[in-house]
């Protein structure tokens, strides 16, 4: 979680010294574990209320 930018950094498929799949998900996006793709968590539910709204 990157609370400074209110985003979730997702790293998948480790390869060498990095990852083949790197994504930055923001509000409006959903996180889904590879093992359970039917389970989705809204990014805003994980990072909390927007600082703009606080």
Please indicate, yes or no, if residue 17 is contained in any of the structural domains: yes
Paired tokens of 38: 């039917």
Please indicate, yes or no, if residue 19 is contained in any of the structural domains: yes
Please indicate, yes or no, if residue 54 is contained in any of the structural domains: no
pTM as predicted: 0.74
Please indicate, yes or no, if residue 52 is contained in any of the structural domains: no
**Residue 19 lies in domain:** 8-47
**Contact between 47 and 1 (Cβ < 8 Å):** yes
CA–CA distance, 44 with 25 (Å, rounded to integer): 10
The predicted-structure confidence for 1-54, as pLDDT tens digits, reads as follows: 888 888 999 999 999 999 999 999 999 999 999 899 999 999 998 888 777 665
Neighbouring C-beta atoms of residue 45, cutoff 10 Å: 11
Please indicate, yes or no, if residue 3 is contained in any of the structural domains: no
Structural domains counted in the chain: 1
């Amino acid at each position: 979680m990157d609370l400074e930018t209110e985003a979730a950094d997702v790293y998948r498929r480790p390869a060498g010294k990095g990852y083949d799949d790197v994504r930055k998900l923001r509000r409006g996006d959903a996180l889904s574990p590879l093992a359970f793709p039917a389970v989705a968590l809204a990014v805003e539910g994980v990072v909390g209320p927007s600082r703009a709204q606080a």
